[in-house]
Amino acid sequence: MNGGLLVAGTTSDAGKSVVTAGICRWLVRQGVKVAPFKAQNMSLNSFVTREGAEIGRAQAMQAQACRVEPTALMNPVLLKPGGDRSSQVVLLGRPVGEMSARGYHGGRQEQLLGTVLDALAELRGAYDAVICEGAGSPAEINLRRTDIVNMGIARGAGLPVLVVGDIDRGGVFASFFGTVALLAPEDQELVAGFLVNKFRGDVSLLEPGLDMLHGLTGRRTYGVLPFQHGLGIDEEDGLRVSLRGAVRESEVAAPVGEDVLRVAVCAVPLMSNFTDVDALAAEPGVIVRFVDRPEELADADLVVVPGTRGTVKALRWLRERGLAAALVRRAAEGRPILGICGGFQVLGEHIEDDVESRAGHADGLGVLPVRVRFAREKTLTRPVGEALGEPVEGYEIHHGVAEVLAGEPFLDGCRVGQTWGTHWHGSLESDGFRRAFLREVAAAAGRRFVPAPGTSFAALREEQLDRLGDLIEHHADTDALWRLIESGAPRGLPFIPPGAPA
């Protein structure tokens, strides 16, 4: 088998990442050597591979679904927004500069088509199948000329395309039909059919519509996936606790001890790797919520200041919202605070930034004895260490270089009283360390909270990925899906007018 498939969507957040991961897990359980691929990702949630390359977290989780190590080839272009109109461009795992949206779509993106096709070809040479994820919608007619992630990559590599639609939003039939009808004839030839996502109710009531859609487009529906709570992998963007599938506040399992533990995460601008708190949300009795007002910190047992792509901008936002003053008071009172990456930097004394914001000098909150200087070279590492008597693994993605002047060592950062700071993302996924840290937080907060002794974050992730594989196995036409991956789009698919504008 030397197959491939592009999972496209009628819209952003239609379920492409989840469906891609589900297909990957289903295939690997059939004994297929499979890899994920996304030519271009726009996300502030990223990951560092073993070779020190930065890729989107969704592709790292899809690689886990495939039971393989993630590599830069799986996400050759990563765009990390720094504002409404510009992004840092990460090419094959390394940053190559900042670019405006107009500059990127005005020529740079088109130049990268060869690079992404080469990366895909290399993966296809090493794996039995490569399951590719698109971005947004393939029918973005204003961007088709420079497209390298949807029909551009499908046509360049001869990939069949499966279009996913979120029926829970409504309008899925119009979206399916309109997506095909806005594509050029050469692109339409590759669109094999549809997959309905997040359906609630009796599928028999949907079937007449699917039959009519087939009659109108000549394309079949490869499955109807039911709506299920709590499904998802590490999100690209948005405030979401992915293991709980909730926004702003997670559902809570019964605590082991007498008390719950409340965690407030400051929703700073350009928040990056907010998935760091997923491991906290996975703990029975831990409530995680995202906050943007100082009064919301009052009843929190732990406040997390997360990573951000705009450290100086986050500082201004914290001050404007009154959160900065609340954090300083909290630190003085000895109430727990954890700063991660950019959050660690804002807790320091001052920042010299001529790279990210080009703001020069900025005063931090001054609750940790740390000075930060932004370097042009980005730190991309996978450190291993020990804290609170437990082994810890993490990953670092930052331009800021911290000079720790005092305090108790904590991973690569420091601790003063109950204020902790580190550049390590993912440290809370280390089960023993997370439990030890939560015991310290509970003691400082005066809570009779006890971490559950058997919670394994890695096992929860595997369970989640298996649920996605089950979703495909039980609710998609896997025989037809297999033929599509192995043999490509059916021949003779009809053209649906009007097609793409000239």
- Identify the active-site residue in 66, 341, 399, 423: 341
Q: Please report the DSSP string for 19-52 in residue order.
A: HHHHHHHHHHHTT--EEEE-SEEE-S-EEE-TTS
What residues have CB less than 8 Å from 208, skipping those under 6 apart?
A: none
Q: Tokens for 240? A: 């979401």
Q: Do 471 and 22 form a contact (C-beta atoms < 8 A)?
A: yes
Which letter does DSSP use for residue 373 in this model? Answer: E
Residue 425 is among the residues annotated as catalytic for this protein: yes
Quote the Cα angle for 361-366-369, to 5°: 95
Taking the alpha carbons at both ends of the chain, their separation in whole angstroms is 37
Torsion of CA 191, 197, 203, 206, to 10 degrees: -60
Q: Encoding tokens for residue 96?
A: 């190559």
Q: What are phi and psi of 474, to 5 degrees?
A: -90, -20
Length of the chain in terms of residues written: 502
Catalytic residue among 398, 399, 423, 425: 425
Annotated active-site residue 474? The verdict is: no
The two three-digit tokens of residue 269, written as one number: 């601008």
Task: Report in angstroms the alpha-carbon separations of 348 from 113, 332, 351, 368.
Answer: 42, 14, 8, 5
- CB count within 10 Å of CB 343 equals 29
**Integer CA distances (angstroms), 125 to 66, 128, 160, 459, in order:** 16, 8, 18, 31
Cis, bond preceding 451 (omega within 30 deg of 0): no
Residue 196 CB coordination number (10 Å)? 27
Helix extents (H) in 268-336:
278-281, 311-321, 323-332
Q: Which contacts of 48-51 are long-range, i.e. CB under 8 A and separated by 24 or more positions?
A: 48/380, 48/381, 48/382, 48/395, 48/396, 48/397, 49/93, 50/382, 51/93
Q: Which residues are catalytic?
A: 341, 425
